[in-house]
Amino acid sequence: MQQAVLARIDRVTDDVVALTLAADADEGELAPWEPGAHIDLSLPNWLTRQYSLCGDPADRATYRVAVRYDPLSRGGSEYVHRFLRPGRRLGVSLPRNHFPLVAAPRYLFLAGGIGITPLLPMLRAARARQLPAELVYSGPTAESMPFADELRPLSGVRIVETKRQGRQDLEALAATLEGDTLVYCCGPASMLAAAEAVFPVERLHTERFQPVARAFGPDTAFEAVCARSGGTVAVPADESLLDALAHAGRPLPSGCREGVCGSCEITVLDGAPEHRDDIGAPEGRMYPCVSRALSPRLVLDL
Ligand code: FES
């Protein structure tokens, strides 16, 4: 965990603020990151929330994130908008990246609303490498779209105001796509579903802020063996592996508790996990906030 000072809060739309987090004077620099990365921000009200980094990766002195006020807030965005003030020291995790910019000769970026945040540094990175990159950025009106003013003057950027222009026709975009283009999409679930329906899966990279509703088999009890520290934890059918480990005195970091942020990632040494996350767990890893076991026991590197 790093410590940072909240240097500035800038209102970028009626319901979005940009936070500039500055490196703690003692530490000098913040940890490096690549476009697509996000951080966990530990708020003074004991909540932890994940935000995509949308500043400049070359700037090691500050991080920039944007926070949209969610009327259904579980306390995170409401706290940021109503109570957070410059000067607060905040805990910031090391950046994690489940949405990396894979090398390609050209890119198409599709953003919806606050989904612009991980795509901003990607667009800049593609431009810095002098690669052809187009951004189609949709939202109800330009005034409601964070960073629209910053983006509008750039070539290859199309701002789509859906209230006036209707939705971008993704099918038409897909039909004109050159064969070696990688498509990066971040926005509301409806936009991600529309993109998944028209772009080839091997060329489409998406990032979700909300889990996809899916059905899994009934939750069953299993055992978790902690190989390093010793001991076996019983995981009842009505409790997550994350909570069972915490109750057994083995708490893990957790941010979203919905299988989208990656902060609770652990290594599985043996057994068959049932992956229920929306990240796509790497081989030998799992996210215990949502994932369970298909085998009677899992052996964990804990
Ligand atoms: S807490 Fe976010 S993936 Fe588990």
Indicate which CATH number applies to the domain containing 249.
Answer: 3.10.20.30
Number of alpha carbons in the 13 Å side-chain half-sphere of residue 66: 21
256 lines ligand 1 (CB under 6 A): yes
Question: Which amino acid is located at 295 in the chain?
Answer: S
Q: Is residue 216 part of a domain?
A: no
pLDDT for the residue 222: 97
262 lines ligand 1 (CB under 6 A): yes
Per-residue pLDDT of the chain (302 residues; tens, 9 = 90+): 899 999 999 999 999 999 999 998 777 899 999 999 999 999 988 888 999 999 999 999 999 999 999 877 778 899 999 999 999 999 999 999 999 999 999 999 999 999 999 999 999 999 999 999 999 999 999 999 999 999 998 889 999 999 999 888 899 999 999 889 999 999 998 999 999 999 999 999 998 877 777 888 889 999 999 999 999 999 999 999 999 999 999 999 888 888 988 889 999 999 999 999 988 888 999 999 999 999 999 999 99
Q: What atom of ligand 1 comes closest to residue 289's alpha carbon?
A: 4
pLDDT for the residue 12: 96
Spatial CA neighbour of 57 closest among 133, 118, 112: 118
| 140 CA distance to ligand 1 middle (Å) | 30
Q: Is residue 99 part of a domain?
A: no
pLDDT for the residue 116: 97
- Residue 50: other Cβ atoms inside 10 A: 19
Question: What's the domain range around 26?
Answer: 2-92
Residue 217 CB-density burial (10 A; 0-12 exposed, 13-18 middle, 19+ buried) = exposed
Q: How many domains does the chain have?
A: 3
Number of alpha carbons in the 13 Å side-chain half-sphere of residue 255: 24
Domain boundary pick from 175, 207, 239: 207
CA distance 133 to 122: 9
Q: What atom of ligand 1 comes closest to residue 257's alpha carbon?
A: 1
pLDDT for the residue 217: 83
Domain boundary pick from 35, 68, 92: 92
Q: Describe the chain by its helix, strand, coil percentages, rounded to 5.
A: 20, 30, 50
254 lines ligand 1 (CB under 6 A): yes
Domain boundary pick from 92, 118, 146: 92
291 lines ligand 1 (CB under 6 A): no
| 280 CA distance to ligand 1 middle (Å) | 12
pLDDT for the residue 11: 96
Does residue 119 sit in helix, strand or coil?
A: helix
Question: Which amino acid is located at 195 in the chain?
Answer: A
